[in-house]
Amino acid sequence: MDKLLIRGGKRLSGTIPVSGAKNAALTLIPCALLTDEPLTLRNLPRLADIDGFQHLMTQFGVSHTIQGKRPEDFGRVVTLEATRVTSTVAPYDLVRKMRASILVLGPMLARAGEATVSLPGGCAIGNRPIDLHLKALEAMGAEIELAQGYVKAIAPDGGLPGGEFDFPVVSVGATENAVMAAVLCTGTTKLLNAAREPEIVDLCNLLTAMGAEIEGVGTSDLTIHGVPRLHGATYRVMSDRIEAGSYACAAAITGGDVLLAGAKADEMSATNHALRNIGVSVEEEKGGLRVSADGPLKATNLSTAPYPGLATDMQAQLMALLCKADGTSVLKETIFENRYMHVPELKRMGADIEVDGRTAIVRGVETLNGAEVMATDLRASMSLIIAALAAEGETTVRRIYHLDRGYERLEEKLQLAGADIERVGDD
């Protein structure tokens, strides 16, 4: 298994290209099930999770052709075509490797009138139930059965009628599933307290380009008038605001000055606000965002929240940055109950962090030290890389398959900005 070796202390400077957003791509790909015409997605990131999802789509009879196979290219163009759906079952073996597989439930049900998806099971960052996905589909007229670890959703003859659902908790995935099912309903669907993350706006924009009728895009109340059929489209995946925020933290902790090419300020304003409170300069520039830090980092208090609040997917990376700030910061994780797994690893590098339930107290330290650490989940892994870039000496990060799930060619991008990082095989 590969590992990353990072020798800290190099100031990052230059340009880092931001890839297409993983979480947007994972909800745009299943939209191919909603039409028998080709769907072409541009700027798809090259990631293990995206390859896995395409593989899952193949199970349903969806063909895909890939352009942009040159190794030096970032991103690629993929055309998916579901002329005929040959299977409506997402098997355990594929779903267990990738939780986002649950996102085929809504569009498959809408297209084929039924869908059977293995329950995703537990996850490292909390329980992550799917009850809201199921309740929203039920409210739209689906019948749901649970048996032998699978969920089966069935639409009445003639298709789902549509309905109204008020989400008791804001859920990104459940909103996505509900929207993808609603676009082909025979009637109108109202989704209240829906998630409004930029990735959901991206989903609604693609569906609109395919002929869907959605009102309230970008707000938490969506009204979707079902249409009898959708057509194909060509669509560019939005840029990855979490990847951009991660490299912003990396630049800041090294006192660097980096242009994040392709980053969009309006999609990451909570992260940018946090960075500015920490004393980091974030400026919009032609082609992206310039992030620089030339003074001391300052402690700040942060709390994660659904969009437009601070993304839970940025918590670990900002925590790594705060490990080197002057003073004491208090972080609150309100979305997932077990999302501090990076803390013991950061402590191995000399960080001073105390966790009490969903609260973490971070006392800034003068020096972080290189150490042998282990990645536990995607964003946790990135926090270790960020800390390592500023640590004295060498850090070895193991289990980096987590990073390959969500950061396109991470070490190459960091090398572009002058980091001393290399991937080596484990011996």
Q: Is 23 in the site for ligand UD1 (CB under 6 A)?
A: yes
Residue placing its CB nearer to ligand UD1 in the complex, 126 or 211: 126
Number of residues that bind ligand UD1 (CB under 6 A): 21
Instruction: Report in angstroms the alpha-carbon separations of 294 from 11, 124, 257, 258, 314.
Output: 11, 36, 8, 12, 22
In single-letter form, the type of residue at position 357 comes to G
Q: Is 128 in the site for ligand UD1 (CB under 6 A)?
A: yes
123 is annotated as an active-site residue: yes
Exactly one of 172, 316, 318, 373 binds ligand UD1 (CB under 6 A); which one?
172
CA 107 to CA 88: how far, in whole Å?
A: 11
Exactly one of 274, 335, 341, 373 binds ligand UD1 (CB under 6 A); which one?
335
Exactly one of 63, 67, 131, 219 binds ligand UD1 (CB under 6 A); which one?
131
CA 224 to CA 227: how far, in whole Å?
A: 9
Residue placing its CB nearer to ligand UD1 in the complex, 60 or 307: 307
Q: Which helix (H) or strand (E) segment is 359 a member of?
A: strand 359-363
* Closest distance to ligand UD1 from the beta carbon of 51 (Å): 15
Q: Is 312 in the site for ligand UD1 (CB under 6 A)?
A: yes
Q: Which stretch binds ligand UD1 (CB under 6 A): 33-41, 123-131, 185-193, 279-287?
A: 123-131
Omega into 308 within 30° of 0, i.e. cis? Answer: yes
Q: Is 133 in the site for ligand UD1 (CB under 6 A)?
A: yes
Instruction: Report in angstroms the alpha-carbon separations of 231 from 211, 323, 365, 410.
Output: 6, 50, 56, 36
What tokens does 330 get? 């208090």
Q: Which stretch binds ligand UD1 (CB under 6 A): 170-178, 184-192, 272-280, 392-400?
A: 170-178
Exactly one of 132, 155, 185, 360 binds ligand UD1 (CB under 6 A); which one?
132
Q: What contacts 99, CB < 8 A, 6 or more positions away?
A: 120, 123, 128
The answer to whether 313 and 352 are in contact (CB under 8 A) is no
CA 351 to CA 176: how far, in whole Å?
A: 37
Binding site for ligand UD1 (CB under 6 A): 23, 26, 100, 126, 128-133, 169, 171-174, 195, 311-313, 335-336
What residues are labeled active site? Answer: 123
